[in-house]
Structure formats: structure tokens, C-alpha cells
A and B are shown apart, each in its own frame.
Chain A
Amino acid sequence: MTTETLLWLLPLPPVLAFFLIILFTYRSKSFSHTIAVGAALLSFFGTMVVFFRAVQVSHLGDHPFATSIPWFPTGSTWFNVGMLVDPLTAVTLFFVAWTVLMIFIYSVGYHNFGQPQGDHDRAGLPPHGATVQDAHGRKHRVPSVEPMYSRFFAFIGLFAFGMYLLVLSDNLLTLFVGWEIMGLCSYLLIGFWYGKPSARAAMIKAFLTTRVGDVFMLLGIVYLYSMTGTLNFREIMHNPETLNMLAGTPSYIAGLSAAGLIGILLFIGTIGKSAQWPLHVWLPDAMEGPTPVSAMIHAAAMVSAGVYMVIRMYPIMSAGMDVGHGLTPPMLFMAIIGAFTALFAATIAVAQNDIKRVLAYSTISQLGYMIAALGIGGFVAAAFHLVTHAFFKALLFLGSGSVIHGMEHGVHHTGDHHIDPQDMTHMGGLRKKMPVTFWTFLIGGLALAGFPLVTAGFWSKDEILADSWAHAPLVFIVLALAALLTAFYTMRQITMTFLGEPRSKEAGHAVESKWTMTLPLVILAFFAITFGWLGIPEGFPLIGGIVPNWIHEFVGGTLLEHPPALGFSWVPLLTSLVVSLGGLALGYYVYRGVRSDEKDPVEGALGASLYRLLKNKYYFDELYQAIFITPAYWLAETFTSLWMDQKVIDGILHWFAYISGVIGNFLRNAIDKPIINGSGDMVSEGAKKAGGSLKTIQTGRVQQYMILALVSLAVFGAFFFYLVKMR
């Protein structure tokens, strides 16, 4: 099969799985997951074939795999859509295929396939567990299978389709299609347990918050399309004339070029999708969904898509950079937002006790790194960190799901349902109970913290720090500070969860998860270490150059001009070592002996009020509620519906109707009735009256009639005689 044909087929299996499951196989759990996992496998194998063919092409950036077809007519031409695999697509596809497949397999175990139906389980609520009797007649509480098991696989199938479509698209429009399909899927999956009011609120929050970004992005897309007449990536970004035209044309906003405004509009889309400040609020709440969904959103698909898009659009973001001085406005904007978010989210993560929430804020923070890297021109560094982050964050989320499963097992054992299985203060000592989860989680955590030399996270983060040191020292300082916090809260999490002694009975009864859950952890842990070795800078002391810096060579080739490799500098390296190791050590020493009833040491160090500020995420939810949501409700319910439509507009209409009524009544009462009816009535009434008075002579007696006739005859005779006589 030619690679081009294969490209069209890559996204199809998951979407076919979606339709097959919801239309036909939804009653059978085993059929449904076989179809879904099988589809993920097909896409995975296809992707690997494409990926290995892609890496063998020399100068793939100049000769990408591309294929397109006309989609719909636009005036006298057609809008073409197609598939494109250039180096950036290839590496993105690589991590997407792996993480998606791992998440699919993991979901089988996570949703308790093979367990009995729950006693009181209901669609729309998480499974509560089932009671089984063993051979000795004793009753046990065991986890129960998810009631909407098939539906879950349908939804993540569609989710995977959205991501494949987005990554493979050769144009911004179908990218946006994939983008929004993922928005829908994250909505459906965050609210998978839609019966919970908290999940219902979270799903709507996620969809609407990202939609704020989406409508700006849509404007960016149409602006770009209006300016260039195409949305094809290569036609725009491999065309210096177009880029110069965009950079040279003033936009609607003074001081910004068209490229600048387009870049900013598109980037606002990413702020929403990749949960950057100030649209970060949805991502932590997205934890309401099942854990594989969190991995899907945080690593494989959703938020990675936002970063992927800006990396993809980098030539527009940076258009005109060499004309003026320093960074272009979109890049400056990205650098500020990204660096700020990286630090801001890291501070919140320090004060969270929910195991998934810590990871959620770490995602926001790490995405901030990528955005900041891109903002200061670190194209390759951003892409590199995107890939390594996807691997270790998928690993961490799946690991946390495994921990929660273990804890839930403990909860079923003790029967104390007031224990929150996600609260880290109840955990501890899980390394002995769940060794595979522990070791893989440790690897993921160390990668997140940037543990030197071994982990992938170190190499990608180091490259971002090196880039920022070279181009924007202020960004470098902020990111280094964030890296310190990252290492600290990661070790805090690992210590509270796995090290020491169990802090609750439930943690004491936790068990290791099934192979369907641990196998993906092991595979992801492999990449969380080794993928970084593909990007070791040539100039690195001692080990640089042993393995070629493949990432830089390969991904850099996406751009028209290959970005130059940075020279080696000791400052970022030493900083990186110090913050990473220092943070990890600090996290361990502070938390190694903390018991569950003890106050969080961070609270003591920061003071109660600052700690509360962090714990409540700087009160952003409350702030948005007060300044956006409540006024919007007022605007909709009171101003628009009640005042404008019902009172003013309908009021005017009713007034017209009322006036018409008044005029009608006037016409009837003052003209119709007295004059027109009156004159008509007068004739009839007069005739009636005359008749009435005449009828008295109608007695019916012949004698009277005869007398009357004689009298009349006499009178008329006399009258006529008189008339004749007068003449």
C-alpha cells in the first residue's frame, strides 16, 4: 500500500469503531472493547509503518508525504483537504499512536472488565461495587464493572479519531474539525458519569471555556483564509512570499501586522484548548471523568492538540521576526502567557491533596513550558517537550488511576466509604502493595521533575531552559523557578503516595492492578526514559554526540529554514541540575514522615492565608463566577428575555394592538353604533312602530272592516269630489 493511501486510512478505524459500537455492539462489552482496541491497534500499526517510512526519507520536510482531494466548491475553485506527514506530524503521530493504544488497553482493566455487575450500579454513575459469595459462603465486596462500558469505548474511539485527524490534516480547517470533535469527546467523557452534578458542571465548564478560545481561533482561521486564499499549511508556511505579505500587511488593530493578529487569534484557541492562564480553569475539573480520559485529555490528545497547533503555525507566529527587532507580538504574548502559566500552575499544585489534581496542575504548568519555549523561538524544544511530556504524563495519569483502583480495593475491604480514594493524605506505603505501579510512577515522576541524564523530561526541559537562557533570561528565571516547584511537588506526591507507612487502613489493603493496567505503565515508562536520548545536544559534556541529536535534525526540518543548534552553556545545565535534584530532595525530606492527621508542612511554611489562597487556586473559579457567569445569566434571563423581548418589544406590539383596539372600539361605539346602525335602525324601528300602532285596527271582524271601508270610501269620495270641484 502506498503511504498516501495509508494516510487516509489511519484515522478511520477508531471512528468506525465508534459507529459500530453505538449502532450495533453496545450490548456486548467484550465485542465493544475488542472492536475499540482492535481499531486502536490498526491505527497504531499503520502509524508505525508511516513513521518508519517517514524517518527514512531524507529531508522529509522538503518532500513530505502529502495527498489531498477537493472537498467543497468556493466560487470558481475548490477547497482542498488532505493528509500531510512532515517531521512534526511524524513525531506527534508516534506518541499519539503509542499513548492512545496504551490508554485503550488500560481502559479494559480500569473499567473492571470481567467483574460482576454492581448491586446498585446505574448508568451515569461510577460503579459502586458488587457483593460476591466465595466457596465458604462469606460475602466480599469487589469492584463492579462499569455499567456504560461499551459507551466508554465508543467515545474514546471518536476521541482518538479526532486526534489522528487533527495531526494528519494538511490544512487548518480539518485540523479545526478534529479539534472540535475532541472538544465534544472531552465534554462527553469528562461528564461520562453525568449523573453526578459535579461531573455535569465540569463537562459544561470544559466545553464552554475551550469554546471561548475556539471562537477566537475561528476568526484567526477565517482571517488567514481571507488573506491568503488557502488554509493549506505548506502553501502558507513554505511560501516566504505569503509569510512576508502577512507580516507586511497592517491588520485591523493598529500596530499589529496581519500575521500578528492571526497569530494571536489562533493562540487564544490554544489558551483555551491547552488550559493556559486565564482559561486554565476547566482542566483541573476535568478530573471528574474516568482516569483513562484524564490521560487522553492530558497527554495523548486534547491539550497536546493545542500546543501542536501553535507549533504547526509557528512560521506565522514568527513571521516578520527578522524584519523588526526581537520577538514578534504573538511570540511575546506566548512567552509571557506560557512562562506565567508555568509558574502559576506549579504554585497551585504544591497545595493540592488530590492525586489527580496535582497532576492536572502539573500539566498546565508543563504546557506553559512548551508555550513559553515556542514564544522565545524554541521550535524544536517545544515539540520535543510535547512528545516527552505526553509519554510521562500519560504514564503518571494511568499510574494514578492504578493507585486509585488499589485504594478503592482497600475501601471495598474496609467498607468505609467516607475515605476518598484519591486523597493522598490517606495513602502512603503503597510501594510494597503496588510495586509495578510504584516503579513506573516513580519513573514518570522523575521525568516530570527532570531527573538528570536518565529521564526524557530532563533532556526536553533542559533544551527549553537552554533556549530561554539564550534568548530571554527573564523567561529563564521564571521557568527555572517553576522547575524547582515541579520537582518539589512531584516528590511530595510520590512520598505521600508510595513511601513511608500506610496512613489509613485502606492504603494497607490496597492491591496491585491487573496486567491490562500495568502493562501500559511499563511500556510508557520505557518511553518516559528513552525518548529523551534522541535529543541529547551535541555539545553536552561527556555524553553529547554519542547518540546523534535526532530530534533536532528531524523536527527542525519541518521549517523552511532549519533552526540552528544552540551552543552549549553551563548556566542552564547547572540550574537544571540544582532545581531538579534540590526540589526532589526537599520534597522527600519534608514529607517522608508526615502522618495523615498532621498539618501539611507547606501550610506551616507558607502561612495559613497564603496556603488557603493556593489551595483554592487563587479563587479563580469564584472570580469568574462573579464577573462573568453571574452577569451573563442576568444578561440572558433578565435583560434579554424579560426586559428586552417581553417588556420592550412585546410591550410595543401590545401597545399597537391596544391602540388598534381603542380605535376599533371608538369606531364602533361612536360612529358605527349611533350613526350608521342608528340611521338604519331608525328606518326599521319607525316601520315597526307604525306597524305596531296600525295593527290595533286589525281586529278580524268583518263588520268593522266594512264600516272602515265605507268610511274610507266616503272620505276618499269627498276628497276626490273636492279636488274635481276645485278645478
Chain B
Amino acid sequence: MEIILNNLLTLILFTPVLAAVIVMILPSDQEDLIRWVSFVLSFIPLALSILLWMRFSPAQPGFQFEQKVIWYSAIKSSFHVGVDGISLTMVLLTTLLTPLAILASFTIKDRVKSFMVLFFLLEMGMLGVFLMLDLLLFFVFWEFGLVPMYFLINQWGSEKGEREIWGGRKVAARTYASFKFMIYTMAGSLGLLLAIQMIGVVSGTFDIPELFARWTALEGSLFGMPIGVVKSIAFWAFAIAFAIKVPVWPFHTWLPDAHTEAPTAGSMILAGVLLKLGAYGFLRLVLPLYPAESRAYAGVLGFLAVMAIIFGALASWGQKDFKRLVAYSSVNHMGFVVLGIAAAAYTLGMESEPLALSAKLALNGAVLQMFNHGLSAAGMFFLVGVIYERTHTRDLNEYGGLFPLVPVYGGILIFTSMSSLGLPGLNGFISEFLVVRGTWPIFTLYTALAMIGLFFTGAYILKAIKQVLQGPLNEHWAGHITEINARELLVIVPLMVLMLWIGVMPAWILGVINHAVSMWF
């Protein structure tokens, strides 16, 4: 027990790799064995995360469960892990969604072993980003996660569909999507890598907690430029990398493609966790490393967030493809996360008690919204996958009146949609309310404009329910589609329980988040 507790974060980070190795040595033709072993093994990180959650003391400032081992002494980079309330929440989300996503991919028939191995590596990559307190290793894990995701989309993505690129050239949709996802994110990471190297060289360390003090205290000039200019450039290098990942409007167009073409489990993780990496980057790195720049450019970020909220909702409403509709809803929902972060950024360093409270509430809302969106988006993508496996279409106009055929599925779809819509009583409302409350005194106009997006959230959610479940039954499906099965229920029910639980009693999770964000002000 002692050894587990002392190395808890390292264990959480690398048990997925262990799982991948175990799966790798299983015989390839034993597909069921591979599936069940993967499923069972994916509970180890989850169990460790729950243990971590129980042992974590929210009121204690700073990082906990820290471990620091020299990794590359010449450039003063070390393997340094640690959690605070924000990363803890994200770790829990990641380890929670992975078993569910693995269970959801039991229908994968093709190269099961490779799929599962890639999945565990993906989990490790994401966890690394949340756990790392070393800037260089942060970047390593940041990039690492891309590779498994690329292959998941490229190899196991939807087999139908083509995309025209230019000059009448057509490529398979999943090739297009995976390529766009990979290249776009890597293009964003380019500036991030340069900025990280620059910071490391200038500050003489890559250790994030040390950088909080050293890098921000830097004065004078660098490379013949005033330090402010250098910092501004580095700020934008960071901000654009994270903005692409979130994604913030107008960097969002990779998302609907990647989500739509990815396999169900891939979409669940992509929407559930991968998007949070960007928002987490803002929280963990951008705000503490660039307080002055964050403040100066908070208005821009807030504006882009509002655009994401409004146009994400509108675009979602305008889709004819069920999965694309859900994909665009992520742009809309993540807009609230960024809006909350921007509002908090704007108040950094201000000596105003009421504004500090608002900023805390906005950040509480933003982090909770990250968690909530992880639940609801994963749930929605899973439900799209369930209906797709039965109908082999994602075209909303081809469903119609399915509710009598699949009453349980229908009820679950309405429930999950309502969580996504932010219905009071479910999780999404608490976080959206906190963001709106927090940003109102800071960005009043933006908050008011965000309401347009909130309205259209209702429109697209109801459109999806209407097209899939309601209206005259499309006789084509009568007798051809089956009710949601036990395995699928096992995937969605934990998510539903959490949605209701957080909606009714949010204190258990907000308590942890609140302590973490309160320490900033």
C-alpha cells in the first residue's frame, strides 16, 4: 500500500502502458479475450485515480503526490509529476472514460489487438499531459497523444464518405480527417515547442512550478527585444497551440471532421478528454506563465469564445449528419470553458474583491464544464454510435419516429441530450450558470451575446431528438433495429448517474475545484 501511495501518479501514468504490453502478448485471434482483458486492465488506472481522489486533500495549497526524478540533467529537465484540484479532476475524467470507451468498442472486429494497444497508449499520452510538471515532458506527452489518435481515425474510422479538397481531388473522408487533425495540431504545436525551448533556455529550467516564479519575474530585454515583446510572442505561440486543441473559433474546423470520422470510442475520448488538453493548457500554463499578457489579450480570447459559443451552436443546428451535429456541439460547449478562462484571465492581478469572486466562480464553472462536457459529449457520441451500428446511417433525415422501436434508447438519448443542453437538475447547468455568473461582471456584453448561443443549444438538441425519435415512424426501420443492449447500457449508465449526481449534488467535485482555483486569487 505504502509503495502504491508513494508512486501513485507514476503508476496511474504508466499502468496503461503495462496494460498495452499485456494485451500485446495475447494471441491475435483470441479477440474476445483481448477485449475483456483490455476492459479489466483499464480499471487499474481508474481504481488508482479514485484512490488518488480519496487521498487528495483539497484545502492544501500547491501540488500534491509530487515525484521528481532527473530525466535530462544537461538541460535541467526532470520527470516531475504532481496534481492539484484541476488536474485531479481531469485525471479522473480520463481514467473514467477509458474503460467506458473500451467497452463501447467491443464491436470493433478489425485488428482488435492493435486497436486496444493504441487506446492504452492514447490514455497514457493524455494522462501525461495532465500529470506533468515539467514543460519539456509536457510537450512530449502533448505530441504523443496525437499518434494513436491519428491511427484510430485513419484505420478504424468510418469507411464511407469522401471529401473533395481542391481541384476536384477526392480523398477518403477518414484519411482527410485524420490528416487534418494531425497536421493542424502539429502546426499549432510548432510555435509551442519553440516557445517552450526558449523559456527553458532563458530560465535555466523546465520545471513548471519553478518557472511560475522565474519566468514571470524576468525583466529587461531578450534577444535584443524588450521582454514584453518576447513574452507576447511566446504567449501567442502557447495560446494558438491550445486554441487549436480546444478548439476555439475559428480554429475549429478540424473538429467536426475528426469527430465524425473517428470510431465511436475515438470520438468519445476525443470529445471527452482530448479537447480538455487545450483548456487545461490555458489553465496550467498560459495564465500562470503570462499573467500580464493573459490580461492584455483576455478580451480577444473572450471574443473568440463567444464566437465559438454562437457559431458552434448555429453550425450544429445547421447539420444534417447526427454525428456532425454532436461534434459541433463541442465547439459550443467548450466556448463556455474558454469564456470562463478569459474572464478569469482579465482579472489577474486586479485588487478587487468582487471581481476576484467573479473570477473564481468563472473558473469553477470552466473546470466543471470541462468535466461535464466530458461526460455529456462522450455520452452523446456513444449514443450516435449505438444508433449508427443499427442503421448504418448518420443522416438525420433517414431516421424518424424511432422512439416506439427503441423506447429505452430514446429515454437515454433524451436524458443525455438534456445534460448537454444544460437542463437545470443535471450537471451542465451548474457549470454554465457558474461561468455566466462569473463572466457577467467582467465581460457583460460577451455574456449577453453568449445567450444567443445558449438559445440555439436548445434548438440543435431538440432538432436531433426530433429527427431521430419523433414524428411518424419511418417504416423502413420497423423490425430492423433492436433496443440498446446490456453492454451498451453498461457504458452509458455510469455517465448518466454522474450527470444526475453532479446536477443535484455538485459539492463533492466543486469542492476540489474551488480550492484549486481559489488559490490563484
**Chain A residues in the interface with B (C-beta under 8 A):** 22, 70-76, 122-124, 173, 176-181, 184, 187-188, 191, 194-195, 197, 200, 203-204, 207-208, 211-212, 215-216, 218-219, 222-223, 225-226, 229, 252, 632-633, 635-642, 644-645, 649-650, 653-655, 657-658
Contact = CB atoms under 8 A, between A and B. Distances in A.
Given A200-B470, A223-B440, A658-B166, A184 B361 contact: no
A22 B411 contact: yes
A649 B250 contact: yes
A215 B452 CA distance: 8
Interface stretch (B192-200, B235-243, B279-287, B430-438): B430-438
A204 B464 CA distance: 11
Given A71-B506, A636-B317, A225 B166 contact: no
Given A219-B451, A222-B433, A72 B472 contact: no
Contacts of A22: 411
A641 B319 contact: yes
Contacts of B401: 124, 194-195
B513 to A, nearest CB: 9
Nearest to A22: B411
B473 interface: yes
A644 B331 CA distance: 14
Nearest to A210: B458
B425 A181 contact: yes
Contacts of A654: 165-166
A447 to B, nearest CB: 34
Leading 3 A-B pairs by shortest Cβ distance = A636-B318, A641-B318, A177-B424
In which size bucket is the chain B interface? 35 or more
B451 A653 contact: no
Interface stretch (B33-41, B89-97, B221-229, B441-449): B441-449
Contacts of B360: 74-75
B404 A73 contact: no
A470 B167 CA distance: 76
B403 interface: yes
Interface in B57-78: none
A163 to B, nearest CB: 14
B437 A225 contact: yes
A525 B410 CA distance: 40
A71 B317 CA distance: 34
B429 interface: yes
Query: Is the contact region of chain A dominated by helix, strand, or loop, or is it mixed?
Result: helix
Nearest to B458: A211
Interface in B90-134: none
Contacts of B430: 72
Given A180-B425, A211-B458, 12 more contacts: A22-B411, A74-B514, A123-B404, A181-B423, A194-B470, A218-B433, A219-B451, A223-B440, A229-B357, A641-B315, A642-B318, A653-B184
B180 interface: yes
A583 to B, nearest CB: 40
A640 B462 contact: no
A219 B462 CA distance: 22
B456 interface: yes
A645 B253 contact: yes
Give the most central of B252, B414, B437: most A CB within 10 Å. Answer: B437
Contacts of B444: 252
A176 B414 CA distance: 20
B494 interface: no
A200 B518 CA distance: 46
B95 to A, nearest CB: 24
A636 B451 contact: no
A195 B470 contact: yes
Contacts of B167: 658
Contacts of B315: 636, 640-641, 644-645
14 contacts: A71-B507, A74-B360, A75-B357, A180-B425, A197-B471, A203-B470, A204-B462, A204-B466, A252-B444, A640-B314, A644-B311, A645-B311, A649-B250, A657-B183
Contact of B511 (A73, A252, A655): A73
Given A208-B458, A219-B448, A658-B166, A75 B433 contact: no
A14 to B, nearest CB: 14
B178 interface: no
A637 B423 CA distance: 25
Contacts of A71: 506-507
A355 B510 CA distance: 51
B436 A222 contact: yes
B400 to A, nearest CB: 10
B165 A73 contact: no
B510 A72 contact: yes
Contact of A211 (B253, B358, B455): B455
A180 B345 CA distance: 31
Given A73-B511, A176-B424, A197-B471, A208 B253 contact: no
B474 to A, nearest CB: 11
A71 B503 CA distance: 11
A195 B425 contact: no
Contacts of B448: 219
A211 B506 CA distance: 24
